[in-house]
Amino acid sequence: MSAVTMLNAEQFAQSVEGGEGLTLVDFYADWCGPCKMIAPVLEDLAGEYDGKVTIVKLDADAHPDVLAKYGVRGLPTLMMFENGKPVGTRVGAQPASALKTFIGEHAS
């Protein structure tokens, strides 16, 4: 079972921007209530989509430069990357069904 991986800016550049395949990035903050609400949902989805989509987290407070680069203004922001390029975004806490639909739009 796969787990959600925490990244720093260097790891983000290597594995997301320089990566292949699909990666769902959760831009979050420790103080963000909705971010905490979706964390267990993302953990479940990481297992369900293991081998199809990699799910990672990036701390918004620690890496404001990355947020600025991608225009992230609200938390949580979930951004799907395909082969290093952003291809979709969802802002705010989403129910599991909505996240599955979002992932399915890109993972099919």
Taking only Cα atoms into account, the Rg of the chain, rounded to an integer number of angstroms, comes to: 12
Give the domain extent around 34.
5-107
In this prediction, residue 89 carries a pLDDT of: 98
Which residues are marked as active site? Answer: 32, 35
> How far, in Å, CA of 83 to CA of 105, rounded?
15
Question: Residue 17 in contact with residue 70, Cβ under 8 Å?
Answer: no
DSSP 36-79: HHHHHHHHHHHHHTTTTEEEEEEETTT-HHHHHHTT--SSSEEE
* Helix, strand counts (H, E) of the chain: 4, 5
Q: Report pTM.
A: 0.96
* Average pLDDT of the segment spanning 7-32: 97
Print burial letters for 37-49: b (CB count within 10 Å at least 16), e (below 16).
ebbebbeebbeeb
- The CATH number covering residue 61 comes to 3.40.30.10
Predicted confidence (pLDDT) per residue in 85-102, tens digit: 999 999 999 999 999 999
Reported confidence tier of residue 108, pLDDT bands at 50, 70, 90: confident
Please count the structural domains in the chain: 1
Predicted confidence (pLDDT) per residue in 45-85, tens digit: 999 999 999 999 999 999 999 999 999 999 999 999 999 99
Reported confidence tier of residue 11, pLDDT bands at 50, 70, 90: very high
